[in-house]
């Protein structure tokens, strides 16, 4: 391995150990620190495109092997999402060394061809008030179009039961008996538009690698993307996959910016497209995000359109406000901003609705208007 590649792996894995995994995943923190000490372990990750060389891809590939061809490997015993219960000890990095030695080619192939797909149904609790607000602004049924949809779990956001909590106040919206998603409301304001009815005329998701929720083999990759201590998230993933498999929204394989105009052209004029993204735009280059903003503006000039973004500020709101709306650390667990951009009669408005937790665990309703100033 070249010294520059080794240096990159050392820096990246050390950063993730200290800044992303600490406090969230003791096992990934320990494994990431071990890779920073022995970067050759993560050499398979160099097969990924440069912007995909993240520890979360490498560890998802590791978990995928443990779920498929290496089910009896000693590393399984350490990972609660695989039924393991062993605490972190010196055997954990040793088990990774052994797995990499036995499956280096498999890991390389996975890193070369996969991207992380953390499809988290609880983010629907973040989107729900934004869809309620979008429905109010649009005044017509919404056609939901998700960019970076993965298995489409968020395309059925209106079918989950979203429960919001703030101190003693607890309110639920959505159908009784749906998959329950619990979200803490922080700050002083209530996400009132969550109570609005959302009529959905159509549901379409675009993804480079859409996952068929009804295919148990395909969904293993989504399970492998769940961090090892997050067993509650794994259970929610399985429950949401079952609901999507029954609802069968339309999923389109393609690059989101390229595929969007074709998908929008299929939306009936009786509905207002609601293009939305969650934790997906960080995968785009700056140039592609600008192309996306332009595509949306061109569509908004021709027909009424709503856009909902649940993205870190620099990957979302700033595309339309032209300036930082939220300072803060970047990274996988960055605070998100829930943003609504709406075109009516060709005129655009921008509202930053809320600050959001990475996996839908909390939101802080702010609802502030911004001048529309797309980055060119």
Is 118 among the residues that bind ligand SAM (CB under 6 A)? yes
Q: Residue 218, exposed/middle/buried by CB under 10 A (0-12, 13-18, 19+)?
A: middle
| Interaction residues for ligand SAM, span 124-153 (CB under 6 A) | 148-150
Contact 179, 123 (CB under 8 A): no
State the alpha helices, DSSP H only, in 303-357: 318-321
Among the listed residues 24, 283, 303, 349, the single contact to ligand SAM using CB under 6 A: 283
CA distance 136 to 142: 10
Q: Quick one: which segment of 5-13, 72-80, 88-96, 117-125 binds ligand SAM (CB under 6 A)?
A: 117-125
Is 219 among the residues that bind ligand SAM (CB under 6 A)? no
Is 278 among the residues that bind ligand SAM (CB under 6 A)? yes
Is 356 among the residues that bind ligand SAM (CB under 6 A)? no
Q: Quick one: which segment of 8-16, 112-120, 127-135, 342-350 binds ligand SAM (CB under 6 A)?
A: 112-120
CA distance 39 to 4: 11
Strand partners, 147: 206, 277
Is 29 among the residues that bind ligand SAM (CB under 6 A)? no
CA distance 78 to 137: 49
Residue with tokens 């480079």: 208
Provide the token pair at 99: 């797995």
Q: Which is nearer to ligand SAM, 118 or 306 (CB)?
A: 118
Is 119 among the residues that bind ligand SAM (CB under 6 A)? yes
| Interaction residues for ligand SAM, span 185-214 (CB under 6 A) | 206-209
Among the listed residues 34, 45, 256, 337, the single contact to ligand SAM using CB under 6 A: 256
The helix, strand and coil proportions of the chain, stated in percent and rounded to the nearest 5, come to: 45, 20, 30
Q: Which is nearer to ligand SAM, 6 or 218 (CB)?
A: 218
Binding site for ligand SAM (CB under 6 A): 115-120, 123, 148-150, 154, 206-209, 255-256, 278-280, 283-284
């Amino acid at each position: 391995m070249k010294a520059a590649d080794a240096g990159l792996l050392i820096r990246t894995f050390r950063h993730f150990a200290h800044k992303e995994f600490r406090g969230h995943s003791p096992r990934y923190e320990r494994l990431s620190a071990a890779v920073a000490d022995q970067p050759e372990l993560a050499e398979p990750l160099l097969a990924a495109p440069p912007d995909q060389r993240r520890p979360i891809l490498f560890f998802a590939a590791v978990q995928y092997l443990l779920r498929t061809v290496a089910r009896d490997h000693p590393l399984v015993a350490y990972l609660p999402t695989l039924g393991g219960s062993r605490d972190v000890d010196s055997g954990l990095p040793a088990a990774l060394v052994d797995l990499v030695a036995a499956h280096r080619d498999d890991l390389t192939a996975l890193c070369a061809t996969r991207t992380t797909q953390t499809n988290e149904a609880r983010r629907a609790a973040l989107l729900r008030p934004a869809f309620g607000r979008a429905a109010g602004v649009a005044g017509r049924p919404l056609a939901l179009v998700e960019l970076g949809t993965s298995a489409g779990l968020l395309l059925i956001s209106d079918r989950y039961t979203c429960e919001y909590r703030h101190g003693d106040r607890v309110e639920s919206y959505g159908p009784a008996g749906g998959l329950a998603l619990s979200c803490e409301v922080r700050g002083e304001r209530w996400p009132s538009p969550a109570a609005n009815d959302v009529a959905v005329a159509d549901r379409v998701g675009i993804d480079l690698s859409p996952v068929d929720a009804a295919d148990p083999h395909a969904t293993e990759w989504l399970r492998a993307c769940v961090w090892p201590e997050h067993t509650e998230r794994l259970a929610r993933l399985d429950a949401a996959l079952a609901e999507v498999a029954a609802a069968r929204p339309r999923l389109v394989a393609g690059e989101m910016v390229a595929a969007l105009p074709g998908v929008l052209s299929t939306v009936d004029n009786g509905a207002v497209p609601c293009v939305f993204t969650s934790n997906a735009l960080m995968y785009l280059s700056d140039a592609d995000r600008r192309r996306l903003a332009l595509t949306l503006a061109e569509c908004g000039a021709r027909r009424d359109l709503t856009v909902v973004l649940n993205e870190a500020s620099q990957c979302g709101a700033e595309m339309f406000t032209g300036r930082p709306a939220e300072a803060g650390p970047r990274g996988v667990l960055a605070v998100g901003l829930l943003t609504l951009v709406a075109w009516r009669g060709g005129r655009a408005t921008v509202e930053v609705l809320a600050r959001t937790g990475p996996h839908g665990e909390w939101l802080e309703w702010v609802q502030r208007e911004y001048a529309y100033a797309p980055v060119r």
